[in-house]
Each structure stands twice: as structure tokens, then as C-alpha cells.
Structure 1
């Protein structure tokens, strides 16, 4: 769903600015980009966009000298162009929202994720909690694989922990949606019994129309897609391989699962 939304953003921006190009999707195995570089970097493409790049793959890319523009999504590289969000600010935004409501402790639903950005956002949240007096103990961090099914499971595990924080930060809206169903089945009411604030990666309609509706810090996926196309058009037209970095802001959307402080 995330990929489809992102590709649609690329196509919409191409049409809007009259950028005539063919978009080709090439999959690769995480941590093994070196095995695919011939098909990705050496096949006559005018430019390459790489998402969900692991640290190992990013180091490999930085060791090369691509002869076309390369743009990384949600990464920072000194040697390659990037379009990303500020993970530290996102973590601080979430922690502040929770602390402003008077909470002094929080639980975390964290993904065992190969996606570097997800891990960085979770760590940024934990770092911010330490800075502003919001306590997160090891027993209050519940790990899943970023799926709806795992979100359901984590809701069950959370409820089995008798002395639990009354607010949850979730780094995956897929897991958060599963958790909402799990809490419903267990008779736990949001936001009365527990509140939940999640990172938002999915299409906004999925979190807006969940029951209860899910409060999210929404990643600007459409704007990322638009900025990538504009950057690539500029780089291709000017034959410019100089790294350029664009940072976009995430958007706080408070709904029913976590509401604003009074």
C-alpha cells in the first residue's frame, strides 16, 4: 500500500510538471544491493531512486561513482542526494505531545524493522523521552514485525502486563491498526483506558476511518514523491551529479485514539 501510494505521487507530479519519463520498479534483497547493481545502476537509466536502503547498502552505494543522479528516500548521505524527514524532530514531537498531557511514563510498540528510518524514529522518541522526563522501561517496550497481526498480538501482551503505562507510542500504523482491533476484542476503550499515538505511513484514509480513528504523526509521502521528481528533472536537465538534500516536515494529526491536552 505504501509503495502504491508513493508511485502514484511520482506519476501525478510527472504529469503536473510535464516531465516525460518512464518509471521502472526494480526490487532487490535488503543488504545485497551489490548483487543487483548491474541491473539498477548500469542499464542506461537516466536516474535512480532507492527506498528502504539499509546501512550496508548505503555504504556500498557511497563507494560507487554512479554516472546518473541517485536519490535516497528517508536517508542522509554526504555523497548522494536525499529527500527525507527529520527523525529527531518526529521523535521529539511525539514525546512532547505525550508529556504535555501529564503522562510520566509510556509504552512503545516497536517494529523489528530492516527499515533504517523506522528504527531511527523509535530511537529518537526514546531519546526525547529521556530528555523531557517521560520514562520508558524495558518491560514497557513490546516488539513486533510491523504487521497488523503483530499489532493485535502486542495489544494482548500489553494487557497481560498489569502495571502498564496508559499511553502507547507505536512506530507502525499497520501495527497500530491491529492493536486497535485487539483492544476492542479485549474490551479496552481508547482513549478512556489507554491512548495511542502512531507514526503514519499508510494512506491517511486507513487511519482516519479506523475505529476509533488513529492519531498519527503522518509522514509526507506524497510530498516526498513530488520533491523527488522535481529534483530528478533538475538533475537530468542540468546533467548535475552534485548531492542535494531536501528535508520535509511530518504532520501531527490528532484524532480519537490520542487527543490534545486540555
Structure 2
């Protein structure tokens, strides 16, 4: 078994210097880049790995891999249920036994919660809902464990994602089948990276298909049920309001449905609705009426992330363990009563 002393001997430095490098404290301890590179080269050559599980689970009879799931504490926490269901499903399928740690962070401030990442405290990490600043910061690090981003793009780390263009193309294809020529859009206020990409892709696809989206018909609302009630009120106040709405959040759309039903606005006769689904198909299936949705399958995304981690951790060579893997998940379309298609076109 390779030890710190072995690494120190090969790198021709002290054991304490190796410890400083491994614990991600080279800058604060003023370790020269030349020394850092020597230590990292020795680690690679010897295949040294900190015994994280033994360190954190030394009192247990049997050590397990420790996987951390990083997620933001905001309105997107409603996706966690589906993600955890996908993780549990893949655990049972792969018989991959590990300890799961949930880490909550604030967008644009993940650096404040990155000590465990820099110190290689875990065996693997899944990170969701990052901002562009978070992503840039994380890609500046060189952790010694596999990291997987959810619905983000990265050349350095593994990714599991749904292509925003595919979501847009699928949504607009439903509109063209019903010969919709004008549409209203309900978007999330202060959009996150992925949601902003999806809205932009949808607007671009509408332009290609000559579907009119008037700027005055783009409504923004908080990503909540109350936000949906607000969005419904703003929609009803529009002059020459479009008879079809595309909403980027199933949470918002549920609030809209509630308010439209309360006001006795008939769906889809007076207004038809298509939504992006984020929290799982049940959220839109059991509304009144059920909502046609382009679903981002969070359970499949989480399962794919666990599968990638399982395979990565099975690699003996550290280089192979850290090689990025990129997996695209297809969106799932549910045709329901809020935007029904002609009988021959219903899926």
C-alpha cells in the first residue's frame, strides 16, 4: 500500500509538504508550483489515494465509498425527490453500496463550501444547479476524485445532461402539429443557467418555424406556485393574448392551472398549455386538467450519474478514474389534456 512517505521520497520533499498539497493548502502555505508539480507527479506515478473512507468511517466495521450530492438551497430543491429516487433505483440495480452526503450551497458561492472538494474528502461528487461562476471556479480545481455535473457542460469533468435544443424542438413540433402561429411564454424570473438556455433555444426554434412570440407576451414569474398564480393574472391582462402558453416550469404551471380554474377559464378551449417538466411526471399528470409536458427526466439523470461514478471508482488507475464521461439523456414527452393533439398524432 502506497503511503505519504513513499510519495515524499519519490518527490524528494517532506511528508508534511505532501500532506499540504493533498489537503489543498498549497496557496495558503506558499508551496512553490515546482514543488506542487513534483508531488502531483509522484502521486500519479505511485497511484496514491487518500484513504477517505477509513478516515471518516474508522469506527465502522466496513468502509463504504462516500458520495456527495451538491445542490442549491433555492426553488430547485423540489427536484431533489426525483434525483434521490433515481439514485436509489440505480443503487439497487448496480448493488453499489455507498454513503450519500447531501451538501447544500448557495449559487455563486460554492467556493465557500469547497473545502471538502479541495481536500478530496469524498470518493466522488455529483454537482447540480451550478451558476456560471460556480462552474468556472470548480473547473479551476484539480480534485483527485471523479466529479459529475448535472445539466451543465464541462470538458474537464463528467456530465449528464438533457440537450436544451432537443427540448425546444420537441415543444415546437407539438405547436406546428396544431398549426399554432402565436404563443405566449412564461419564464422563470432571474433564470438559472439551464432554464435560460432552454428558453433561448425555444424562442430560436419558434423563429425558425415562423411562430410569433411577441415580446409583450413573454411573462416572468418566481419559480413557485404563488408565482404561477401571478403569471396567470398577468396573462389574463394581456391585450390580444395568445391562446397557447409555453411555460418553462411545472411548478409555475401548477399555480397557473389553479388560478385559471378558479376564474373558470377553460383549458384547453380558451387557453392551451405546454410545460417543461422538472419535478417528475406525477406533478403534471394529476393536475386538472393533466398538463402536456416535455419532461426533464431527473430520475434517469441521477441514475446515469451514479452509474458513471460506479464505473469510475472501479478503475484501479487514477488517470482512468478521472477521465470525463459525457452522457446525454433524451427528454420525455407526455401528451395530455392541456394541449391535446389530433387522434392520429397523440403518443
Classify the TM-score, shorter chain.
Answer: over 0.9
| Runs of 4+ that moved beyond 6 A | none
> Would you say 1:189 and 2:270 are equivalent positions?
no
Secondary structure, counterpart of 2:104 in structure 1: coil
Report deviation, 1:223: 1.0
Aligned position for 1:52: 129
Bigger Rg, structure 1 or 2: 2
Secondary structure, counterpart of 1:234 in structure 2: helix
Report deviation, 1:116: 1.2
Secondary structure, counterpart of 1:224 in structure 2: helix
Rounded to whole Å, the distance in 1 between the matches of 2:81 and 2:112 is 25
Aligned position for 1:253: 334
- Conserved 8 A contact 1:41-1:48: no
**Which of 67-76 and 235-244 deviates more?**
235-244
Report deviation, 1:112: 1.6
Q: Structure 1: which 5+ runs fail to align? A: none
Q: Structure 1 length as normaliser, TM-score?
A: 0.96
Secondary structure, counterpart of 2:174 in structure 1: helix
- Conserved 8 A contact 1:71-1:82: yes
Report deviation, 1:36: 1.0
Q: Structure 2: which 5+ runs fail to align? A: 1-77
**Which of 7-16 and 131-140 deviates more?**
7-16
- Conserved 8 A contact 2:118-2:142: no
Report deviation, 1:177: 0.5
Aligned position for 2:244: 167
Rounded to whole Å, the distance in 2 between the matches of 1:64 and 1:40 is 9
> Would you say 1:237 and 2:314 are equivalent positions?
yes
Secondary structure, counterpart of 2:322 in structure 1: coil
Cα deviation 1:60-82 (Å, max 9, x = unaligned): 11111111000000011111100
Q: How many residues align?
A: 262
Secondary structure, counterpart of 2:84 in structure 1: helix
> Would you say 1:95 and 2:172 are equivalent positions?
yes
- Conserved 8 A contact 1:200-1:217: yes
Rounded to whole Å, the distance in 1 between the matches of 2:79 and 2:292 is 18
- Conserved 8 A contact 2:250-2:283: no
Output aligned runs, 1:1-262, within 5 Å: 1-238=78-315, 239=318, 240-261=321-342
- Conserved 8 A contact 2:280-2:295: no
Cα deviation 1:171-213 (Å, max 9, x = unaligned): 0000001000111122210000010000001232221110011
Secondary structure, counterpart of 1:24 in structure 2: strand
Report deviation, 1:138: 1.0
Rounded to whole Å, the distance in 2 between the matches of 1:46 and 1:199 is 33
Q: Structure 2 length as normaliser, TM-score?
A: 0.73
Rounded to whole Å, the distance in 1 between the matches of 2:256 and 2:97 is 43
Q: What RMSD in Å do the two structures reach over aligned CA positions? A: 1.2
